[in-house]
Structure 1
């Protein structure tokens, strides 16, 4: 800036020279010294780069851990001297060798989390120790695919972390599904749970998706803020995008585990021809019946329907179209829902049994079932001020409504989640002494108390489930019959009031409560469960139509009772 002498009009001239902060272009301005001028207030802030979308927008990480996606990459410069594009600049900032080191550090941290999960499952939940070996072997296969992807990405100079979420359609071609999972890098943290699930399936253990989901949500196994289990020396080698991938600051959503299991199963079968045994359906089905507090008759009914639709509970094949019900556990829970709708409809004008030998001679009172289920949930919540797994969902508004005990428990959770051991023990990088005096840290060894707490919690849950089941079984009503043990002539047969539900709006209060409980067992949304049930119902309709054509030509292969049970499944 320079000022000239006063002119004939009595005003001095001010000559301003500046450079554009975006283009570095030189700009000049000349104005009287007595005039006002607008001065821009420019603040500079740096964001870690996470991803670059196909349309050129940057995905940046803010200080609060959120993403900022409204900045677009500048167009390539028209200056012939500057031919370096944005991606070339990234490769200059992060050379290939540095990229390989960061990839290796991330995979080491991912592997450490996986090892800890498998060890917790084997030692804290009485699963066989062979589970750890099977998980290691599966990780070896997954690591081969990851290494191939790293080498392929480095050769192309385009290995960039993707934070975009993946979704799964109801019917999806195998080529699209395999292409999606082949290009997925780095492996998401939810894949650690998926590998543990596939390992349990290989060992024929009755471990459900819902159980693994609850273990992770309630911090019974390593998942929430898994980054805290990674040593600082290894953590310092990770770039921000990889740290975010290992730092789960939001709860695991429904369906995420199912999608990961389905994708990894297809991947292992397609690339390695892995022979995965069928699901341990008998034990798993019995566990479902027990968890939902249902009469044992639905177990036999669900099993008979599985024979009718020829369901073998084998893992999905990469050949053919992929359906939600193709995952064995989704097919099994769908069969149970269909059996419940056949035997114990949610409508008040339910069908009646035709004789004392009919399994539907017992009537399930859904109002009592709903009340007992709510009491069961309340009993589980009475043991702690903050329900297990809900601390990560607490917002600023809910904190202001806490009582003293809840606030203490929440602060203990925050200390466990966010304060490093090194900082709590006044080692290098320790917290300020003034802050420690105001908020002393009650750090203690939680290993023994944690093990005792898991055992006491499991026993409390089993006792609450027994009480709920006893209350519901005692409330079962027996239909009245005449002296010959037969029902009235106007009694409706099984399936006469069967109804198919296509969306949430079709569910009444009783049906919705049951479907929510069933969906919670497999850690999916109710909409996903409804879709899987509809797919199985279509198979029943196809069987019924083929059976009708066969009956016109030859006697039926199935008994009359089986045909009566499913006679009305295809009707509304």
Structure 2
């Protein structure tokens, strides 16, 4: 009888079904328990103490199938090219909106396309750019600029960008606000009177394609855009474009076109824009006349200063225009008193302007009313505030966050769980028609204008009182503004799309230049030169 082999212990949980023995031995390729009962289901190789020891036959493993999958999210040059295509699509939609909704000529699209071609002509150099620098190439514009940035934003010569293809990875990628800037410059080349404030309000209020730039893209383009550019295209949903940033973007484009191609843009349509501002602010025609005479006396032109080394706010043609309008209006219709504080501008028989009536009757223009920025409120929410939200607020919060979450890499199992429906875009703010603007201006002017004094009207005030009435008020900072001045400055800034502090600084710069000009004129008159 063949000698039994060495007994081995069965794995935990196994035993002989006949006798319950937990030990076994191997004989003739079969497994038996220690008492000789055959154990069924034996695998045809010996499992020893060490792994794979005593193997009785060759083991064949099936080769794992190699799945080839295309990477959906692009990177490097392909990702940047797709981002440029997305901006080009947005730019075309903006051009079509201006043509169909605002009645601009069809040649606007051609001019915008030519400007865009010049802007991205150096993008071919991106083929050699490293993917690691993708996020560094894109400047993320924030809606709330830093205080120091506000102070130095207008004295840059270094803002001029070189679009030379030889820059390779350093070639500056276009930004989202540049699309609006190109629309403005194309209108300027075609001599279409367009205010920067108009474009800004249309963008922030959802009229012109801008806020929903990412969601307006085809689904395939959304899925393949790099994350850095997705964030840039979604930024308008989270924060509004600020006027200071938009004005600076336009100035940067003008300087860059001049540096790279020697282009010089024409002057803005100052008279047409001046009339638009006067209507929106319900100002008398005397303000327009005085503004034109002041600009002629000071030798001011309304063209972009491309040859200056330090660019100040007042060097922007549209900011210069509104500062002259404010200055001329203050000269003709002082906030305190009723006599004009200027001579030589044909103001001998100016009507009186009741500023308090104007202040009370001026209804804020619908263009100045931006949509309630719920997105900004949600971004500033603290965890404690979220916890104390009611059901309706919580649903709105989750809907907002859902719109910002990237869904391209979703786990397939998530399809079995309900998701929040993204919040629908807010409807655009209705605009006031031109007839409504004219009617409002006529109504306010009829209430605020009174006949000039001195024409058969006996004044109760003596010469000493009159001398106090002709004092001109200058304000160096926002804190120095009187109530009427603050209302007037803010209304003008809202119409132009720039913040109050920038308006105050620009007007004060102009006032100081006028003081210097007056001193020079007096010196010339007295033979001091």
CA distance change for structure 1 residues 521 and 494 in 2, over 3 Å: closer, same or farther? Answer: farther
Q: Which residue of 2 is the match for residue 540 of structure 1?
A: 514
* Corresponding residue for residue 328 of structure 2: 339
Rg comparison, structure with higher value:
2
Give the aligned partner of residue 160 of structure 1: 136
2:265 aligned with 1:288, yes or no?
A: no
Partner of 1:178: 160
RMSD: 4.5
Mapped contact 1:299–1:336 kept (Cα < 8 A): yes
Question: In the alignment, which of 92, 102, 114 is matched to residue 137 of structure 1?
Answer: 114
Q: In the TM superposition, what are the counterparts of 1:17-416 in structure 2 within 5 Å?
A: 98-148=75-125, 150=126, 153-154=129-130, 160-163=136-139, 167=149, 169=152, 172-174=155-157, 176-178=158-160, 185-248=172-235, 249-348=238-337, 351=340, 358=347, 361-373=350-362, 375-376=363-364, 388=371, 390-395=373-378
Whether the 8 Å CA contact 2:331–2:341 is kept in 1: the answer is: no
CA distance 1:402–1:523, change in 2 (3 Å):
farther
| Distance across 2 between alignment mates of 1:123 and 1:304 | 37
SS state at 2:282 partner: coil
For 1:458-469, what aligned pairs fall within 5 Å after superposition? Answer: 458-459=431-432, 462-463=435-436, 466-469=439-442
CA distance in 1, matches of 2:155, 2:361: 40
Q: Residues of 1 paired with 2:117 and 2:128: CA distance?
A: 18
Provide closer, same or farther for how the CA distance between residues 213 and 321 of structure 1 changes in structure 2, counting only shifts above 3 A: same
Tell me by how many angstroms 1:131 deviates: 1.2
Count matched residues: 433
Contiguous gaps of at least 5 residues in structure 1: 1-93, 382-386, 423-428, 556-572
In 1, distance between residues paired with 2:210 and 2:319?
24
TM-score by length of 1: 0.64
Match of 1:471 in 2: 444
Over 3 Å counting, the alpha-carbon distance change for 1:491 and 1:306 in structure 2 is farther
2:324 is paired with a residue whose SS is: helix
Q: TM-score, normalised by structure 2?
A: 0.69
Shift of 1:255: 0.8
TM superposition shift of 1:543: 2.1
Quote how far apart the aligned CAs of 1:419 are. Answer: 11
After the TM superposition, which residues 512-523 of structure 1 pair with which residues of structure 2 at under 5 Å, given as runs? 512-523=486-497
Distance 1:465 1:218, change over 3 A: farther
Shift of 1:192: 0.7
| 1:367–1:209 distance in 2 versus 1, CA, 3 Å | same
Check 1:460–1:304 CA distance in 2 against 1; reply closer, same or farther (3 A cut). closer
Deviation of residue 316 (structure 1)?
Answer: 1.8
Distance 2:176 2:105 in 1: 23
Q: Counterpart of 1:205 in 2: which secondary structure?
A: coil
For the residue of structure 2 that corresponds to 1:101, the secondary structure is: helix
CA distance in 2 between counterparts of 1:466 and 1:181 reads 48
Gaps of 5+ in 2: 1-70, 165-169
SS in 2 for 1:227: coil
Q: Relative to structure 1, is the Cα distance of residues 266 and 484 closer, same or farther in structure 2, using a 3 angstrom cutoff? A: same
Please list the CA deviations of residues 236-274 of structure 1 after superposition, one character each: whole Å capped at 9, or x if unmatched.
221211100111221112311101001011000111111
Shift of 1:347: 2.5
Match of 2:526 among 536, 541, 552: 552
Deviation sequence 1:415-435 (CA, Å, 0-9, x none): 997799x9xxxxxx9996985
SS of 1:473's partner is helix
Q: CA deviation at 1:463?
A: 1.9
Which of 478, 487, 504 aligns to 1:530? It is: 504
Residue of structure 2 equivalent to 1:73:
none
Query: 8 Å contact 1:370–1:513 — kept in the other structure?
Result: yes
